[in-house]
Amino acid sequence: MKSIRASLGVLAFLTASALTAQVTAIRAGLLVDPATGSAAKDQVILVENGKITAVGPALAIPPGAAVVDLSKKTVMPGLFDVHTHLCLNLRTQGGNGLQALLNSLLAATAIETTAYRALEGASNARDMLRSGFTTVRDVGNAGNYADTALRRAIEDGLVPGPTVVNAGRIIAPFGGQYHGIPPERADITIPEYLYADTPDEMRKAVRENITFGAKVIKIVVDDQPYKYSVDDVRTLVKEAAAGGLKVAAHCATDEGSRIAAEGGVASVEHAYRASTPTLQVMKDKGVFLVGTDFTKQASHEMGMDEYHGWVVDRLKRAYQVGTPVAFGTDVCFVKDGETRGTLSVEFVTSFVEAGVTPKQILQAMTVSAARLLGMEKERGTIAPGFAADIVAMPGNPLDNIDAVRHVDFVMKGGEIYRKD
Ligand SMILES: [Zn+2]
């Protein structure tokens, strides 16, 4: 076993050496910069050793460079989805209400092995990358750390997938997101969540997650009648920060969203019912809204039909207030003829319904998401020194955001994963 790993190490080393020697030149018909909402014609992007080395209109292409001709396409930075669950496929079978959804979460927890969950993750990761998502934040529900295994497998080049920032086990008050579990079988929900009710338990849960490979801490503030308090959230945020990690907080209610924001989390997830004053608190504290803004279809599939109207209204108010927004979907259902990637990118339609401009949507999907993840100097922008995470599509997303649903070229870290 040791020798196999050693050989793989040598292969990885050789690949890295080969990349060092190889320059790739991308001819971009139109190059979109989400930060400014501008587009420049006929640009050249030089890529070497996985990173962008130069961008400009009349760059000399070095002899021997591999040329990628995207002169008929629009090129932009790779997309981010900062709220996904790669290692979870819920089979809601048409949606029979929220209880059906929770039952299917219980089924995934109780029946599927962690090994199978990791393989589901590999499949979803591949599909996300194909649709243009080069970075994702995976916010838990991954059995016994299938997400850490998936992240490592992608980093080691064993399976294709986006850069993954994973949460490990979700930290929550007793019971997690389960309701109606019989006391005789309380352990049936283990290991999906880490229950932590006292400050000591919270600190231990954060440390356990970090030890087992989490790169972000996900907490649930308000899924039971008892909620985490502002002091509880501060305890979790402080311990996560000591380990260099940020905190993402599941909050369905207005009160939960306010508690999380005042407790200093990096992002409030969902915030389905957040009031305008709460969105203002989030803005004042620089807390991101990751709205998981269900499309009409997604709401229906999840058995949560009324949520679509709620999130569109809340998204509209968030942009009016100026709350920072990063694109996150929460897609975890499966649908024939669709992939995790196509279902996720479709969420731009909720933004359009809320009156959000294409420039703002592209920012939520790139530079803003990178800022939430603390990657704003590494990913999310096409400029020298940044990772070569680059996608292309027919049409200009600044004219019609629907273009991002038709990505047909994907490069991640200088490697081409899709070229139709
Ligand atoms: Zn979620």
* Tens digit of each residue's pLDDT (9 = 90 or more) over 149-198: 999 999 999 999 999 999 999 999 999 998 888 898 888 888 899 999 99
Ligand 1 centroid vs 270 CA: distance in angstroms?
Answer: 8
Ligand 1 centroid vs 161 CA: distance in angstroms?
Answer: 19
- In whole numbers, what is the pLDDT of the chain averaged over residues? 92
Ligand 1 centroid vs 137 CA: distance in angstroms?
Answer: 11
Q: What is the spatial distance between Cα 107 and Cα 245, in angstroms, rounded to a whole number?
A: 30
Percent of the chain clearing pLDDT 90 (strictly above): 84
Ligand 1 centroid vs 188 CA: distance in angstroms?
Answer: 20
Ligand 1 centroid vs 243 CA: distance in angstroms?
Answer: 23
Ligand 1 centroid vs 353 CA: distance in angstroms?
Answer: 22
Q: What is the spatial distance between Cα 345 and Cα 352, in angstroms, rounded to a whole number?
A: 13
Ligand 1 centroid vs 140 CA: distance in angstroms?
Answer: 8
Instruction: Answer whether residue 358 shows pLDDT above 60.
Output: yes
Give kind and range of the element (H or E) at residue 372. Answer: helix 367-372
pLDDT band at 14 (very low <50, low <70, confident <90, very high): very low
Ligand 1 centroid vs 91 CA: distance in angstroms?
Answer: 15
Instruction: Answer whether residue 416 shows pLDDT above 50.
Output: yes
User: CA angle at residue 85 from 82 to 91, to 5 degrees?
Assistant: 140
Ligand 1 centroid vs 229 CA: distance in angstroms?
Answer: 21
Give kind and range of the element (H or E) at residue 409. Answer: strand 409-412
User: Considering the entire predicted model, what is its pTM?
Assistant: 0.93
Ligand 1 centroid vs 168 CA: distance in angstroms?
Answer: 13
Ligand 1 centroid vs 413 CA: distance in angstroms?
Answer: 27
Instruction: Answer whether residue 54 shows pLDDT above 60.
Output: yes
Strands (DSSP E) along 139-246, which ranges? 163-166, 170-172, 193-195, 217-220
Ligand 1 centroid vs 38 CA: distance in angstroms?
Answer: 32
Ligand 1 centroid vs 139 CA: distance in angstroms?
Answer: 6
Ligand 1 centroid vs 79 CA: distance in angstroms?
Answer: 18
Ligand 1 centroid vs 362 CA: distance in angstroms?
Answer: 21
Instruction: Answer whether residue 230 shows pLDDT above 90.
Output: yes
Q: Read off the tokens for 161.
A: 């997938």
Instruction: Answer whether residue 8 shows pLDDT above 80.
Output: no
Q: Is the peptide bond before 225 cis (omega within 30 degrees of 0)?
A: no
Instruction: Answer whether residue 11 shows pLDDT above 90.
Output: no
Largest CA distance in the chain: 71
Say what the pLDDT of residue 110 is.
76
Ligand 1 centroid vs 285 CA: distance in angstroms?
Answer: 23
170 exposed, middle or buried (CB, 10 Å; 0-12, 13-18, 19+)?
buried
Instruction: Answer whether residue 94 shows pLDDT above 80.
Output: no
Ligand 1 centroid vs 260 CA: distance in angstroms?
Answer: 16
Instruction: Answer whether residue 1 shows pLDDT above 50.
Output: no
Cβ–Cβ < 8 Å for 361, 351: yes
What does the pLDDT average to over 75-87?
Answer: 98
What is the Cβ-side half-sphere exposure of residue 185, based on CA atoms within 13 angstroms?
A: 10
